[in-house]
A and B are shown apart, each in its own frame.
Chain A
Amino acid sequence: MSRIKKKFDELASKDKKALITYIVAGDPDLETTIKIMNVMVEEGADIIEVGIPFSDPMAEGVSIQKGHERALQNKTTLQDSLDLISSFRASNQATPVVFMGYMNPFESMGAKEFCKSASEKGVDGMLIVDMPPEESSEFSREAKENSLDVIRLIAPTTNLSRVKEICNLSSGYIYYISVKGITGANDLDSEDVKEKVKLLTKETNLPIAIGFGIKDAESALSLKDIADGIVVGSVFVELIGKGGDVVKNIASKTSELSTAIKS
């Protein structure tokens, strides 16, 4: 059984929701990234999405764009990100890790090589933002062969027939984009999200995670009853941008969100 499925099953049996946290690999540097991952787990993160730095992160708001830029200043590559997971797995075998990024760095490495290496290093799933189902056949095939989950996005604009198609091609969990917009957007409408996610649950047995516009404990709380997981990203990346004791600040923010979601 995949780590992702195991984690969701375990949470479901306790009637709990998953806190999914996002940070960019190499932001502000790889050594800190691994410390951040460890404290996130200690403070209640259930799954970690690791952003793969890209020069042109088109779906990201300013906070996460800056995270990508910081990581690229250190020349963090996809290979570095894979090696990072090896190190993380030396002390953590339980927490699922999902790589979230943009097509070109993955393409550059090659679908086959990436999927094989990701699986060996202990990555559990991938979410390539600019890879809709129509453009995903090669990565889907290689992912399947290497037992990697392919997490796909469903947006507020996605119509029902596409929803069905995307659900059929997904594994791990479904990532529902809660706003029309970019990451860290301000206009979360939780009533609308509730309605859309309700429809979505009829189409899939996979867990549903909600992300993009969730900024604080309050917004996380407003959505936790309808989803299986809540994704929080911009808040953490912003904390890294602010500097200071980044690891400590992220620990306390994770704890705050975890308490809200697990209450």
Chain B
Amino acid sequence: MSEDTFPDSKGRFGVYGGRYVAETLVPALDELDKQYKIIKTDKNFLNNFRKDLSDYVGRPSPLYFAKRWTEVLGGAKVYLKREDLNHTGAHKINNTVGQILLAKHMGKKRIIAETGAGQHGVASATVAARHGLECVVYMGEEDINRQSLNVFRMKLLGAKVVGVSSGTRTLKDAMNEAMRDWVTNVDDTYYIIGSVAGPHPYPLIVRDFNAVVGEEVIEQSKKEIGKSPDVLVACVGGGSNALGLFYPFIQSKDVRLIGVEAGGLGLSTGKHAAPLNDGKEGVLHGMRTYLMQDESGQIMETHSLSAGLDYPGVGPEHAWLKDTGRAEYVVANDDEALESFKELTKTEGIMPALESAHALAYVKKLAPTMEPDQTIVVNVSGRGDKDIDTVASIEGIRL
């Protein structure tokens, strides 16, 4: 069976994925699966989705040749896929414009979402505002503290931001709380999951709505580079920006796919968020995947400078791409990401999100080992404005 027929009808990518939820949600997921199958081939829906991507999100996002940074690195040519230029400043909007149409198609009145860095929360609040739907965003209290700008943006957009104080008070706990809300309000509520994670069919839906990123790169690289890129690089938290870029290339076996996880303070310290590099198989948030867990199966606290990568699991399709060897997964540590954040800002005048800076940090290592006639496309999944407070406080500066 070829890779692009995955997941199977039970939502499995090899042994990963599936649907590990309490019975109350099974019928809701069945219904979602059924409705998604209907709309994904519906001309009217596809037209609306494409029109929203172009007129509201501002797609296609450019494929930009980073000439100065390429010169600094001295090796392969580096192209940036500019998802940071999307409306709301990240790739997350691609998925939410799709899912809100699905929510409306299903007659839902209320939107809920979880968020880590706040980008998915903002993207959900944005589309909810546009369609006049009530929106509640769950966010860990730890993340609320480090992403206050996005919290205020969500409030301005009319969303209610609910702080989550249980567990580690980060993204995973926000997702638990969103699930609890959904199970309680399942009749009128649509849960927009923000990554290629969660129970089937979410990993499939979120991947499909983000695949526009890779589809554009196929066209753009023909035009800009004259051939396929040699390597695609993207950061991986849950993994939606990476899968959006990788998915249309999965059959193009000569294109290397490299996902970069958050190495935090370093893999050997245990303080990181890199389940594909240093986790093991388990079940969380409705899916079977690689997880950061202790020897008795408790989910561990993760660490990353970037709230958007601070998650102990990863989308099941990535777990499977790792096992099959189709994609490679590496890490970049906090300090490396920070250095690349600064370097790209200074050499190209582009300030990347700290999440995306992890991908850039790996490019910084990889490009010099490659030839000048080779190309790397790296996904700048979001812009860095939201991270200015974090970066300033590391430097001891109070804004």
Contact = CB atoms under 8 A, between A and B. Distances in A.
A102 B167 CA distance: 15
A65 B281 CA distance: 24
A79 interface: yes
Contacts of B295: 108
Contacts of B10: 134
Nearest to A177: B24
A55 B24 contact: no
A157 B186 CA distance: 9
B82 interface: no
A210 to B, nearest CB: 14
B184 interface: yes
A132 B176 contact: no
B370 interface: no
Interface in A117-166: 129-132, 134-135, 152-159, 162, 166
Interface residues of B, number: 37
Contacts of B283: 102-104, 107, 130
Interface stretch (A3-11, A180-188, A223-231, A237-245): A180-188
User: Which of B26, B173, B185, B295 has its CB near the most chain A CB atoms (within 10 A)?
Assistant: B26
Interface string B273-288: 0000000011111100
B34 to A, nearest CB: 12
A157 B24 contact: yes
Contact of B18 (A134, A154, A156): A134
Contacts of B183: 59, 180-182
A185 B298 contact: no
A109 interface: yes
A31 interface: no
Contact of A182 (B20, B21, B184, B293): B184
B293 A152 contact: no
B20 A132 contact: yes
Nearest to A152: B23
A21 B180 CA distance: 22
A54 B21 CA distance: 15
Contact of B293 (A108, A156, A166): A108
A103 to B, nearest CB: 4
Contacts of B358: none
Contact of A129 (B22, B167, B184): B22
B380 interface: no
Interface in A58-114: 58-59, 61-62, 65, 69, 72, 77-79, 102-109
Interface string B23-46: 111111000000000000000000
Contacts of B27: 155, 157-159, 162
A173 B167 CA distance: 32
Contact of B180 (A59, A108, A162, A177): A59
A105 B297 contact: yes
User: Which of A130, A131, A155 has its CB near the most chain B CB atoms (within 10 A)?
Assistant: A130
A56 interface: yes
Contact of B184 (A54, A104, A166, A181): A181
A185 B184 contact: yes
Given A56-B284, A65-B166, A153-B24, 12 more contacts: A55-B298, A59-B24, A59-B180, A103-B20, A104-B284, A105-B298, A108-B296, A130-B21, A155-B22, A155-B23, A157-B28, A177-B23
Contacts of B314: none
A69 B166 contact: yes
Contact of B291 (A57, A104, A106, A153): A104
Contact of B23 (A62, A108, A158): A158
B291 A132 contact: no
Contacts of A102: 283
Contacts of B296: 77-79, 105, 108-109
Contacts of A56: 167, 172-173, 176, 284-285, 299
Contact of A104 (B26, B185, B293): B293
A58 B22 contact: yes
A108 B282 contact: yes
Contact of B26 (A62, A103, A158): A158
Contacts of A156: 24
A104 B23 contact: no
Contacts of A153: 22-24
